[in-house]
Structure formats: C-alpha cells, structure tokens
Amino acid sequence: MHRTIRRRYVLFHLHRVGPPIDARRLSTAIWKSFLSLFGETSVADSRLFINDYDEESGLGILQCNAESVDNVLASAALLSSIDGTQVSFEPEQTSGTLKGLKR
C-alpha cells in the first residue's frame, strides 16, 4: 500500500564568517551532522534535500519528511564550520507547503 509522505519545508538563513558555502557543501555538512547524531536509518528516512539556496545571502529552503524535521534542524543548528567557514544556521520558518513560506 502506498504511504503518503508528509513533507516539511524550512526557510533558513545561514550566517557565516568566511567565504560563501555552496548548496552541495551545505547539504553534505547537514547530512554528516545528522548521520553522526542520529545514524544511518534516520538519514535514510529523512528525505533531506536543499530546494533553493542563495550562497551570498545565505537564505534558502530545505525540505525533509515531517517526522525528521526536529532532528534535521537540531543537526543543522550544531554545525559550527563548513570547510573552514564558520557558520550559524537559523531556521526562520517551517511550513507543510512551499507556498506557505513567506519570502
């Protein structure tokens, strides 16, 4: 039987000191932090993905499944640096739809 996956979309702001971080490196860093804190099965179930991201401003949108959102955001909050750039991840808004995020 097909199970509907409930998604969550998170508008975030990545503050940084140092060169910009591209979406791929940010995504990998969150995955690694998530893996370290919660393990492989949690990562597999999370369906974590960065939808949209402006590396200059640090504003972006990530998506994941609804059950994983707290753990994904805790993992991102504990990131302190990515490839030598110090970062501070700030979740600004969470919604069940992309349209629900006010930009």
Partner 1 sequence: MPVDLNARVTSLEKMDTFVDMARKIGFTGLAVSLPLGSPMIRTDSGVVILARIDLEGKKLDTLRKQVGHVRKQSVILSVPMRDTEISNWAAGDRRVDLLTLSEPTKDHVIRESTATLAAEAGIALEIPIAPLLASSGLDRSKILRVYRESVTTAMHAGMHIVLSSGATEPILMRAPSAMWFVGTLLGMDRRQSREAAYSVPDQIVAASEHKMRTESVSPGVEIVKEDG
Chain contacts with partner 1 (rule: CB under 8 A): 15-17, 36-37, 70-71, 73-74, 76-78, 80, 86-92
Residue number with CB closer to partner 1 (2 or 53): 53
Q: State the Cα–Cα distance between residues 18 and 39, nearest whole angstrom.
A: 30
Element (DSSP H or E) covering residue 9: strand 7-17
25 phi and psi angles, rounded to 5 deg: -70, -35
Least distance to partner 1, CB of residue 13, Å: 8
Residue number with CB closer to partner 1 (17 or 44): 17
Residue number with CB closer to partner 1 (1 or 17): 17
Least distance to partner 1, CB of residue 2, Å: 29
**Of residues 42, 69, 81, the one with CA closest to residue 91:** 69
Least distance to partner 1, CB of residue 73, Å: 4
Residue number with CB closer to partner 1 (5 or 36): 36
Angle of CA points 35, 30, 5, to nearest 5°: 80
Instruction: State both tokens at 63.
Output: 């998506």
